[in-house]
Structure 1
Amino acid sequence: MEKTCATGFHNPFLPLNIYIPDGEPKVFEGRVYLYGSKDVFGGEYCCHKYHVYSADIEDLSRWTDHGPALASTDEYADEGITDGVPWSDGLLWAPDVVERNGWYYLYFCLSDGSEGVARSRTPYGPFTDARQICMNGEPISGIDPSVLQDGEEYYYTWGQGNCHMAKLRDDMCTLDETTYAEALISHEDGMQGFHEGSSLRKLGDYYCLVYASEYTKEYPNRGGAPTKLDYAVSKNIYGPYEYRGTIIDNTGVDPSSWNNHGSVIKIKDQWYVFYHGSSGNRKYNRRARVERIRVDEKNAVIAQARMTSTGFGDALDPTERLDAAYGCQVLGGAYFTEKDGLYPMVNITSGCSVSFRDFGYGENARNWEIELGIRALQAGTAILSVNGEEKARIAFAPETGQKTEDADANVLRARGLLEGLSGKAELTVSFLAQQEGELAELYWIEQRPEKL
C-alpha cells in the first residue's frame, strides 16, 4: 500500500525510522525512484524484502513508500507479498533497476552470493518472474549488480574487489561471455582502490564509474573502511579508467562508519549524489542520504561534496524543531540512535560535538533564542558555535531546566541566545563535563527569533 512517508528538506531525506542503504536513483516518467536494500534497526546488513521510494521531480521534499516490491521469504505475507525468489532464502542486498520495452527489470543479489532479476510493468513493482543471472550456462556469483543502458546495449557490472562487466543478452538475464571483462578496475589499482558498489553512468562523452573505495591516504588509521564514493572515467566503456577523485565521504556520520554505496544522477538541472550513512555506533542501521553536487559534464569532473543536514534543500528552517539525528558530523564517540520512538545523540562525553549544516537565518542580522532538548546525566556545558565562532554557553544539570512534554520526562529545555546571525550558517554543539563518564543525551534543537 502506497503512503507518503516524508515531507520537508532534511538529510537523511526519508523518515528516521526507515533505513535504506545502497541507494541507486533512477528517473522514470517524471519521478525519481530510489532502489536500495533495507536495514532493520538493531539488525545487521539488510533483510528479506525491498521497498521502493519515489518523489515527483518537481517536489523532492515529498517521498512516497510504494510498499514491498520483492521478498525472498514468506515472512511478509501479511504485507501482501510472498516469496519471489525460488532458488534462495538469502537476505536481499543492493539492487538496481533498468527499463526496456515497457518492462522494468530489478537486478538484485542475495547474501548467499547468487544474483537475479525480476520484472514489473511499473517502476515500483511488485517484481515477479525472478530468474538467476547466468553466463556460460551457469549462475554467476557476486554482489552489487548495476546496469547501464547505452543506446541499444545493456551493460551489467558487479563484484567485490574487482569490478566485472558483461553485456546482457535480449532475455535480460543472460550475460554474453564474449563481452566479459574481469576487472574494469580493482582493489589493486593504486588510487582506484575498488571495493564494491559499482554504478556506471554517462557524463557527456565519458563513462563514469562510481564505486566504494578502499583508498586510505587521507585516513591512514581508518583500517581500509570503504567510506568514500570515488569515481573513475573513460571514453571507452571497457577502459582504461582514469581515477578522478572522491564525490562524498561519510566518515564522521557515525563512529563505526564502515561502508558506502550510491550513485550520481541529474534531476532537472541539478546533479545529486545519493549515498548512505550508518547509525547506532554500528556498521548497520544505514540511512539514505543525498547531497547536491557540481558536475562539469563536458570534462567529466565532479567536485567533492560535504555532508549536510539539508540534502535536497538549500537550508534548514531554524524555527522547526530538529531531531538531533539530522546532525551530519559527530566527533568524540557520541552517536545517533533510535530510542522509544525518538532519535537522540547518545554516549555524549566531554569533548563530543555535533554539527548541523546549514541553517538559514535570513538576510538581516538578528538574535536567535535556542533551546536544546537534553537529558542531563551530570552537570555540564553546551558550547554553541556558528561557522566555527563560539556564540554561547549553556550550563545544564540533571535538576535544572524546564521539563518538556516529551515521552522521556527527564528531557529538559536548556536555553541560550545566539547573537547577530544572518545568512546560511553551520551550527555546532560541543559538550564539556565536570567529571568523567557519560554526560548527556541530545534529543533536539529548536530556535526562534528574539522578540524585539
Structure 2
Amino acid sequence: MVNDTVHGATLRQVFNPYLPTNVYIPDGEPHVFGDRLYIFGSHDQEDGSTYCMLPYEAWSAPVDDLTDWRCDGEIYRAEQDPTCAEHDRYLYAPDVVQGNDGRYYLYYAMAGGDRFTGPIHVAVCDEPAGRYEYYGEVHNPDGTTFERDITFDPGVINDDGVIRLYYGWSLGVDPGTLPPDVDVSMMLSTKRLRQLEMQMFGKTADQLDASPYDIMGANTVRLADDMLTVASDPKRIVPGMLAAASTGFENHAFFEASSIRKIDDIYYFIYSSQANHELCYATSRYPDHGFVYRGVIVSNGDVGYQGRTSADRLACTGNNHGSIIEVNGQWYVFYHRQTHKSLYSRQGCAEPISIAEDGSIAQVEMSSCGLNGGPLCAVGEYPATICCNLTNGHMPHLTDNPVAEPMPHVGNDDTARFIGEICDGTVIAYKWFKFDGPTTLTLRLRGSASGALTVYAEPPDSGAFVVADGDVVDDNPKLLGKLSVEPSNNWTHSRLYFELAGIWTLTFHYSGNGLLDIAGLAF
C-alpha cells in the first residue's frame, strides 16, 4: 500500500503483492467473515530454503477498503500439533470454514523432507484470526485415521449446514513443455507408479489396492457435525494427469490446491493444474460429481493469456494456489508469484475477474494494481518489485532446485528489496499507471551494468482494462526516453522527464553489459 498527498488529499492505493513487500503468504484462501476479508495461507520465509517454513499468520482488510490490510498476528504453530514430527514439521496450505456451532475450523496438512503423508488435521478458534488450538485429525467413523487417496491441500465449505472436505494431489507436467507426440498418461509404468506412491505418501500395497481408482486426483467427502468424522465415501471429482484422457481435463488435469466455492446453485472447484503455474476451474450443479472443465483463471507467467505459450512466459513460473471471492459485488482471484529465483519465497497477488451469465470466467492477466479498483496514480514512490512482468526472453519454470545462474528476479539484501540481476534484453512492465501531464520519473539503481534503460508507455491490451472515468489512450506505444546506466556499488538516482496523459503500461527495456538492480521508482 502507498499513501501520498495529492492536491491536499491523501491518496490510498494497493498494489501487487497486496501485503507488505517483506511478507510471503502464498496459497491464499480468501474468505469474508463479517465485515472483513481474510487471507489464510501458508507462510514462506524471505529467501527461504524450503516451503512453508514459518507459522500461520492471518491478514485481513475491511471489505469497504481493500487498501487497508493489517496483520492479525500468528494464529497457529506446527508445534501445537501433538503429531508434529521432524520429517513433517512445516504447515502447508490451509483453509478455514465456519462450523455450524459458529466457531472457526482450520484444516491443514503438514509436510517436510521429501514426502508428505497426511493426515489432514484441524484446529479451532472462536474468531477467524484468533489463536487456534489443536482440535484433532480427520478420521473414519471407527476412529482410525482417514487416509484414503492423498490427504493433502484441504479445501472446505459449509454448504448450507453440510460440511464438505475437498483434497488430493497428483503429478504435474506442463504440456507446453513437451514434444507434441508425447502421451503423458504413458510416462510411468504401473510398477514405477506404485513405487512412487508408496515412497512419497507412505502408502502400503493394501491401501493402493483398496482404492477403486489410482490415488492421484481431486476428491471430496462429507464431514459430520463434529468437523472431524468422515460421513461419506470419498468421490473422485477431477482426474489427475495420468487419468485425464477422454475426460475433458486433458492438459489441465488436477495437480493440487483444492478450493471450493458455491455461486448461486453452481459449485466452482478451483485448483492448480498439471501445468503447475495456472489456476483452473471446473463447475457442477452437484458438490461431489459431474464437474466439467471450464478454463484457466490466471497463470503466474501469463501463459495462455491471449494465446501466449510457455516458451514466452512473462515471468518465471512455478506452483500456484489460490481461489476466488466476491467483495462488495466485485469478484477477485487470489494467487501467488515466485521471488528469489526459487519456489520457497512466494507472495500473494490478486486480480479482479468477471463471471459471465453462463458462469464462465475469462483468463485475466497479471497486473501491478490488483485490488486497487483502477490504475495506480503516477504520483509518489513505489517499490520496483510491484512489476507484473519480468522477463529476459527465456524465463524458466522453477523446480525444487533454486536457480544458480544470474536471472532477473525479485530479491533482497540488508539495504533493500529490489529487482536484481537485470541483464541485457530484460523487459520489466507495470500495469497500469494513470498519467496526468508533465512527469519526472526517478529510478533508484545500482550494479555492474553499463548500458541504457529504454522507457516506453504501451496501451493496455485490448479488452484487458476498463477505464471507468472515460480516459482513453492512443493505440500505439510511445517512446518516453532513455536512461543512461553506469556501474555503481551504491544506490544512485536516475531521472527522466516526459509528458504523458491517460492510462498506460510502463515498460523498461535494458540493453548493455553487466547486471543491474532497481529498488524503486518515483513520480
TM-score, with length taken from structure 2: 0.74
Extract unaligned runs of 5+ from structure 2.
1-11, 171-216, 245-249, 303-312, 393-406, 459-476
Extract unaligned runs of 5+ from structure 1.
1-6, 74-83, 215-223, 400-408, 448-452
CA distance in 1, matches of 2:273, 2:354: 20
Residue equivalent to 2:105: 105
Residue 28 of structure 2 is aligned to residue 23 of structure 1:
yes
Matched position secondary structure for 1:411: strand
Residue equivalent to 1:54: 60
Residue 133 of structure 1: how far off its partner (Å): 1.2
Deviation string, structure 1 residues 318-345 (Cα, Å, up to 9, x no partner): 2221111110110113111012141111
Residue 304 of structure 1: how far off its partner (Å): 1.2
Query: Which shows bigger deviation, 30-39 or 298-307?
Result: 298-307
Deviation string, structure 1 residues 260-282 (Cα, Å, up to 9, x no partner): 00000001111000111110111
Q: Which amino acid aligns with 1:429?
A: F
- Are the equivalent residues in 1 in contact too, given 2:281–2:297 (CA < 8 A)? yes
Residue equivalent to 2:364: 305
CA distance in 2, matches of 1:42, 1:376: 20
The 5 A counterparts of 1:335-354 are 335-354=409-428
Residue 395 of structure 1: how far off its partner (Å): 1.1
Match of 2:506 among 422, 427, 435: 427
Match of 1:72 among 78, 100, 105: 78
Deviation string, structure 1 residues 400-434 (Cα, Å, up to 9, x no partner): xxxxxxxxx71111111233x2221110111010x
Q: Percent identity?
A: 29
- Are the equivalent residues in 1 in contact too, given 2:238–2:253 (CA < 8 A)? no
Match of 1:174 among 205, 215, 229: 229
Q: Which amino acid aligns with 1:412?
A: T
> Which one has a larger percent helix, Structure 1 or Structure 2?
2
- Are the equivalent residues in 2 in contact too, given 1:327–1:354 (CA < 8 A)? yes
Residue 439 of structure 1: how far off its partner (Å): 2.8
The RMSD of aligned alpha carbons is: 1.8
The 5 A counterparts of 1:366-445 are 366-387=437-458, 388-398=477-487, 410-419=490-499, 421-433=500-512, 435=513, 438-445=514-521
Residue 300 of structure 1: how far off its partner (Å): 1.5
Residue equivalent to 1:78: none
Matched position secondary structure for 2:166: strand
Residue 377 of structure 1: how far off its partner (Å): 1.2
CA distance in 2, matches of 1:130, 1:94: 18
Match of 2:266 among 190, 206, 226: 206
- Are the equivalent residues in 1 in contact too, given 2:376–2:434 (CA < 8 A)? yes
The 5 A counterparts of 1:216-231 are 224=275, 226-231=276-281
- Are the equivalent residues in 2 in contact too, given 1:334–1:345 (CA < 8 A)? yes
- Are the equivalent residues in 2 in contact too, given 1:382–1:431 (CA < 8 A)? yes
- Are the equivalent residues in 1 in contact too, given 2:92–2:108 (CA < 8 A)? yes
Q: Which amino acid aligns with 2:351?
A: E
Residue equivalent to 2:240: 186
Residue equivalent to 1:450: none
- Are the equivalent residues in 2 in contact too, given 1:328–1:355 (CA < 8 A)? yes
- Are the equivalent residues in 2 in contact too, given 1:14–1:63 (CA < 8 A)? yes
Match of 1:124 among 116, 129, 133: 129
Residue 396 of structure 1: how far off its partner (Å): 2.0
- Are the equivalent residues in 2 in contact too, given 1:23–1:261 (CA < 8 A)? yes
Query: Which shows bigger deviation, 376-385 or 155-164?
Result: 376-385
Residue equivalent to 1:328: 388
CA distance in 2, matches of 1:379, 1:42: 28
- Are the equivalent residues in 1 in contact too, given 2:450–2:485 (CA < 8 A)? yes
Residue equivalent to 1:158: 167
Residue 154 of structure 2 is aligned to residue 145 of structure 1:
yes
Deviation string, structure 1 residues 193-247 (Cα, Å, up to 9, x no partner): 1110011111222111100112xxxxxxxxx4x0000111111222222111111
CA distance in 2, matches of 1:317, 1:58: 20
- Are the equivalent residues in 2 in contact too, given 1:199–1:263 (CA < 8 A)? yes
TM-score, with length taken from structure 1: 0.85
Aligned length: 403
Deviation string, structure 1 residues 336-361 (Cα, Å, up to 9, x no partner): 10121411111111100110011111
CA distance in 2, matches of 1:184, 1:155: 16
Flag the 1:45–1:370 CA change in 2: closer, same or farther, 3 A.
same
Match of 1:257 among 299, 317, 342: 317
CA distance in 1, matches of 2:455, 2:485: 13
CA distance in 1, matches of 2:58, 2:301: 27
CA distance in 1, matches of 2:390, 2:252: 27
CA distance in 1, matches of 2:287, 2:240: 15
